[in-house]
Amino acid sequence: GDSVTQMEGPVTLSEEAFLTINCTYTATGYPSLFWYVQYPGEGLQLLLKATKADDKGSNKGFEATYRKETTSFHLEKGSVQVSDSAVYFCALSPSSGGSYIPTFGRGTSLIVHP
Amino acid sequence: DTAVSQTPKYLVTQMGNDKSIKCEQNLGHDTMYWYKQDSKKFLKIMFSYNNKELIINETVPNRFSPKSPDKAHLNLHINSLELGDSAVYFCASSSGQPLAKNIQYFGAGTRLSVL
């Protein structure tokens, strides 16, 4: 079945540091890939997405590129802020199967210190 | 105007009680879900409904019973609550379409504490 693997957290950074959160996936066909963010006390919300190989999703300074050859969708940001402290989830939506139920990674907690 | 709203936000109850969580979405979506998030933030899908019909029922005790009176509502009833049921429960909705159209919209969560 489909699966998503994320690096374990927490990731702890100082403000303005560079961020990478690794995500790799296993799926048949050509899934769509997503990053969701969960701020403290809130539900998940979409951060960015990519639908095909070499697509780059971007939002709020975050970027991720769909790499089919390495089955990866790593999240990056050049300069993090304290307000980016949250839990980040990588997810995929299958391209076939009928129900299109998404698969989520286990989440990576990011803590940014001033 | 909240897209996916669930109530209550907090629920504290004793073991053995029965409780319900309500969820409503105003996005016109056909598909709704219930997820359970544990203390380590692991998110597990419990149920999925499409147009009021159950399409996914993961390995969940039959003490959990979802009910969908119409496609905008998906409620979760839990019988005989146990300590291990303590978690945050999220309702979500999506268009149910494949690929990038299957963006999940989440409610703010219900934090259930069983004492």
The partner residue sitting opposite A95, judged by closest CB among B42, B43, B99, is: B99
Residue range B42-97, pLDDT digits in tens: 999 999 888 878 877 777 899 999 999 998 999 999 999 999 999 999 999 998 76
Closest residue to A43, CB basis, from B50, B94, B109 = B109
Contacts of B102 in chain A (CB under 8 A): 32, 93, 100, 102
Question: Inter-chain contact B106–A31, Cβ cutoff 8 Å?
Answer: no
What strands lie across the sheet with A62-65, from one edge to the other? A19-21, A75-77, A62-65, A56-59
- DSSP class of residue B49 equals E
* pLDDT at site A8: 86
Q: What mean pLDDT do residues A23-43 have? A: 93
* Coil/strand/helix, residue A31: coil
Which of the two residues, A29 and A68, has the higher pLDDT score? A68
Selected residue with higher pLDDT from B52 and A114: A114
**8-state DSSP, B80:** S
Q: Strand, helix or coil at A105?
A: coil
pLDDT level of residue A102 (50, 70, 90 thresholds): confident
B1 pLDDT more than 90: no
Q: Strand, helix or coil at A98?
A: coil
Between chain A and chain B, the number of residue pairs with CB atoms below 8 A apart is 66
